[in-house]
Amino acid sequence: MKTHTLLMPLDMHLHLRDGVMLETVAPLSAYSYSGGVVMPNLVPPVETLEDIKAYKQRIMAAVPNDFFEPYMTLFYKNYDKAFLKSVVDDIIAIKLYPAGITTNSEGGVASFNIEEMRETLQTMSDLGIPLCVHGETDGFVMDREAEFMSIYELLATSFPKLKIIMEHITTKAAVDMLDKHENLYATITVHHLILTLDDVVGGMMRPHLFCKPIAKRPEDLDALLSVALEAHPKVMFGSDSAPHPKDKKEACGCAAGVFTAPISLQLLCEIFEQYDKLQNLQAFVSDNAQNIYGICPEFKEITLEKRPFVVPATYGSVVPMYAGEVIAWAIESVD
């Protein structure tokens, strides 16, 4: 059997939720990843030092038998300098959500007034705290990310030393933006390297493939593949694995999110092998993130084997991407 080994894989955009859901999904990421950047959009959101420490404790309690580093983030508000200095050692980044644009983002940024944001963003720049951004407007759904490029331009030029991560990019416009500013970087999900909008709603709607930002056009998929497969040094893997209970997905008002945590490495192997680029997967899934964020995760070695693997129908109450289907790679061992 063909095998492929990855060292210290990292998931740089991860939803672990809380409570019973946290206990269900956290062990799945901890099994195959050395660490993950944990999103702060709980209810209520993670906004204080006490919130950060308490949430991290709950995560670690959910993964007692696996080494896994939860890289913690704060929900963006206009924090003052003193507060940011008090939390800098406990977070890896601050996550900015436009208000109401995705799950639990009602308290996000309603207006990108640079002067109102200046103290926070300049202090983040001075302290070396990256800004992770869900980059969508409230316009027509297929244009929301492309329309946000002007805001990335504004942020990047106003704070040229601030490291800005364009989260889960889905468009050629975002790929083109990468090299326009030295301080712009990006995460890319596995499902956005596979899906176009046609896969989601081209036939009967597939609710477990519905996410925000929504999958886009074939030319956008091609652009994402071009930078991911070559492991462009400014891109890194972030699953945006977003679990919701089955009854929230298979319902009117379908919740946005694709759950890929248990199969993301396997799917990445399949994609990179398909294009004869397996040699670049290590950089995409770990090395670039280490360089961009300046982190050094504990050693973990994941060996994957090319053999048929049937994706479980559910993990707890959550239906994964490709539930019940056969994928081409499986995790053979974790050391």
As a dihedral over the C-alpha atoms of residue 231, residue 319, residue 210, residue 93, rounded to 10 degrees, the angle is -50
Cis amide prior to 44 (ω within 30 degrees): yes
Is 220 annotated as catalytic? no
Per annotation, catalytic residue among 11, 51, 240, 287: 240
- Residue with the two structure tokens 């704070």: 159
End-to-end Cα distance, the chain: 19
Burial track 56-93 (b if 16+ CB lie within 10 A, e otherwise):
bebbeebbeebebbbbbbbbbbebeeebbeebeeebbb
Burial of 295 (0-12, 13-18, 19+ CB in 10 A): middle
Chain-centroid distance, C-alpha 14: 5
Q: Give the other-Cβ count within 10 Å of 183's Cβ.
A: 18
Cα distance between residue 197 and residue 195, in whole Å: 7
Nearest CA-CA partner of 196 in 215, 220, 168 = 215
Positions marked active-site: 240
